[in-house]
Amino acid sequence: MDNFYIEATATSPEIDFRFDQHLLSMKGESYPENAAAFYAPIVQQLRSYLASKEGATITANIALAYFNSSSTKMLFSIFDALDQAAEAGNQIIVNWYHEEEDETIFEFGEELKADFTSIIFNDHPVTT
């Protein structure tokens, strides 16, 4: 499967899915005008990739400084796909990066950790 890359914009994050390395990265800010349209191909590529994996170790590095409520819904879709892959026998490791002082992003990460229990979730506070 070909790797999948979307360059960051002022309102959307960089998406860098290196399927050949089992490495998924998202970083930046996420408040696109139409989050569902922006994330639909990302979720589709992710689900296609994960469907072919069995017993793989997959790492997702997520460093989102800000995301709006419609992006939140799409993030849940991404985490749902990762959680299903973990339940199917893959090891899914999520590295959740956030500003040390940003309680909102930290708490969202804690919510994801509680909701998607098959994922190995690592919290990474970052100081600037």
Sequence spans of domains, the chain: 4-126
Q: Where are the beta strands (DSSP E) in 37-119?
A: 57-67, 91-99
Packing angle of the helix pair 69-87, 103-115 (nearest 10 deg): 30
**How far is the C-alpha of 74 from the C-alpha of 35, rounded, in Å?**
7
Which tens digits make up the pLDDT trace of 14-41?
999 999 999 999 999 999 999 999 999 9
Amino acid letter, 81: A
Q: Could you say which of 3.30.750.24, 3.40.50.280, 3.40.640.10, 3.40.50.720 is the CATH number of the domain covering 4-126?
A: 3.30.750.24
Question: In this structure, are residues 100 and 127 in contact, taking their beta carbons and an 8 Å threshold?
Answer: yes
**Residuewise pLDDT in 10s, the chain (128 residues):** 899 999 999 999 999 999 999 999 999 999 999 999 999 999 999 999 999 999 999 999 999 999 999 999 999 999 999 999 999 999 999 999 999 999 999 999 999 999 999 999 999 999 86
**How far is the C-alpha of 90 from the C-alpha of 65, rounded, in Å?**
28
Question: In this structure, are residues 6 and 15 in contact, taking their beta carbons and an 8 Å threshold?
Answer: yes
Whether this prediction's pTM lies above 0.75 is answered by: yes
